[in-house]
Amino acid sequence: MSDTKLHTLQPLPLWQNFMRLNAVPRPSKKEAEVTRFMVDFGKGLGLETSVDAVGNVLIRKPATPGCEHAPVVVLQSHLDMVHQKNSRTDFDFLSEGIRMRVDGDWVRAEGTTLGADNGIGVAAIMAILEGHAPRHPPLEALFTIDEETGMTGAKALTGDWLAGRILLNLDTEDDTELTIGCAGGLDVTGQLAVALEPLPSGYTTYELAISGLTGGHSGMDIHLGRGNSNKLLARCLGTVAAEVPLRLVELTGGSLRNAIPREAQAMFAVPSDTAAKVDQIVANLTAIIRHEYAVTDPDLSIKCRLAPAASQVLSERDQQKTLLAIDAFPNGIFRMSPSVPGLVQTSNNLAKVTIKDGTAEWACLARSSVDSERQELGRVIRQILEGIGACVEFANDYPGWQPNPESKIVALMRRIYREGYDTEPHVAACHAGLECGIIGAHYPAMEMISFGPNIRGAHSPDERVQVSSVQKFWQYLLKTLDALTKTERTS
C-alpha cells in the first residue's frame, strides 16, 4: 500500500494520475496492460484515441476555444519502466503495483524502481488531457512503448500518424535543463558454449557475492565512476586464481542493459587445503576495493562463504576465456565530447554476464552521439568476443538526436524559463537515449525539446523524484503550452 501522504501532494491531478499509472504493471516489452489502461483513459474522456500495430497510443485533444489557430503540439512520454529491485525485496513487477512513500521533499518506492522515469511525464500529459491546463493549442498525446529496452515503439511509428510539428518530450531528469540532443545506442550480445568437466576430489566450493553498489542509469550516470558488479567480480576471481588453483562453477551478474549492474555472484572451487588463504585474499581485496569505491559506492559489500559442493566446473581453457572477456570488455567512458565540455560522447555498459549450464553470455549497451563512433565501439566489443570464439549479435541500433540550438521552440522555452526563474536554463545534449532522434527520423521537419523534473537514481531501487521540482516542471509545462497558443500555425 502506498503512503497516504501522496494524496495531498500538489499538483494533485498529476500525482493522482501517477498513482493510477503505478498501479498498472508496465515492464518493457510487456506493455499490453498499460496500453489498455491508456486507451480506456483516452476514450473515457471522450477523446479521439488510437493504437498502432505495436501498442503505441495516440490521444488527440482539441485546442482551448479561441486557440484553434495555434500549431499542433505533440506531448510525448513512454509507458514502460525499468524494473529493478533490491535482492532482499519481495516484489513481483508483473502482478503488483509500485509501493510508494513520501520522504520529505522526495517520493520513492519501497525497495524497487519508482517509475518516475517516465511515469511523471505520462501523468502530466494525462492531467492536461483531463482539462487541467487553462490554455493550450491542439494536442497530440503520444505514449510510446518499449523505450527502455530498444525503443521499438518509436521505431515503429509511421510518418503519417502525427500532424504536429512541435514535440515536447517529457523524459529528462533535471529541472534546470533543456535537452536538445542525445546519444544513440547499440545492444551487443555475445554467446559461447563452454565445456564442463567433473570437479576433482579434494576441492571446497565457495560462493562469492558482490552487492550494495549504487548502480544507476547507464547513460546519465556512466560518468560518475560507479562500480560495475560484473567487472569487480571478475577482478576478485582473477585475484584469487593468481594465488590458488581456482575452478569456476558458475557466474551471474546484472540484469538490464540500461542499468549499471549492482549485484553479481559466482560459485567456484579451490583445493581444500587453500581455504584459509582464499579467505585472506578476499578479505585483503575487499578492503582495497571498498577504499577505491568509498565515495561512489559506500554500501559496497563483498562476501565469500562456503557453498554446497559442486559436481561440475568449467574446463580450464573455457574458464580462462570467459573471465578474460569480462576483464577485457570496455566499460564506462570510451570518449568524452571534444566540442561540448563535460559531455560523455561514447560509452559502454557491461550490463549482464551469465556463465551457467554450459553457456556463457555477455550483454551490453554501447552509446554514442556520433553514429560512426558507436559502430567503432561495437566493432571493438565484437573483436573481443569473437577472439574467444563467441557468436556476436548486434540489435536495437538507434540514432542519436542532433541538436538544433537555433530552433524556435528552444528560443521560446529559454525565454519562458528566464522570465519565470530569473536565470538561464542549461541548454545541452545528454548521454542518455531519448526517442527524439528516432521520431525525428520519421518527421524530419519536427522541432523537438525535452525537459522534466528532478529525478535521481533512475534505473535503480534508489530512484526518487522531487516533489517541489514536479511543481516547477508542471508550471513550466503550462506556461509553455499557454505561450504556444499565441503563435500562428504554419503550413
Q: How far apart are the C-alpha atoms of 293 and 454, rounded to whole Å?
A: 25
Q: How far apart are the C-alpha atoms of 87 and 16, rounded to whole Å?
A: 29
* Element of type H or E holding 42: helix 32-44
146's grid cell: 518499449
| Residue 397 annotated in active site | no
Q: How far apart are the C-alpha atoms of 107 and 6, rounded to whole Å?
A: 8
Residue 474 near residue 124 (C-beta atoms within 8 A)? yes
How would DSSP label each residue in 114-159?
--HHHHHHHHHHHHHHTT--SS---EEEEEES-TTTT-HHHHT--T
- Which among 80, 148, 171, 173 is annotated as catalytic? 80
How would DSSP label each residue in 264-320?
EEEEEEEEGGGHHHHHHHHHHHHHHHHHHTTTT-TT-EEEEEE-PPPSEEE-HHHHH
Helix H segments across 431-488? 436-442, 467-484
Where do we find the cell 488531457?
A: 129
Residue 374 near residue 348 (C-beta atoms within 8 A)? no
Ramachandran region of residue 389, left (φ > 0), alpha (ψ -120 to 50) or beta? left
End-to-end CA distance of the chain: 50
- Which among 140, 146, 147, 263 is annotated as catalytic? 147
The count of C-alpha atoms lying within 13 angstroms of the C-alpha of 243, restricted to the half-sphere facing its C-beta, is: 17
Helix (H, G, I), strand (E, B) or coil at 393: strand
Residue 108 near residue 464 (C-beta atoms within 8 A)? yes
Write the burial class of residue 22 (CB in 10 Å: 0-12 exposed, 13-18 middle, 19+ buried).
buried
Q: How far apart are the C-alpha atoms of 215 and 211, rounded to whole Å?
A: 10
3-state secondary structure 338-363: CCCCCCEEEEEEEEEEEEECCEEEEE
| Residue 462 annotated in active site | no
Ramachandran region of residue 358, left (φ > 0), alpha (ψ -120 to 50) or beta? left
Helix (H, G, I), strand (E, B) or coil at 418: helix
Q: Which of 224, 285, 227 is CA-nearest to residue 254?
A: 227
- The residues assigned a catalytic role are 80, 147
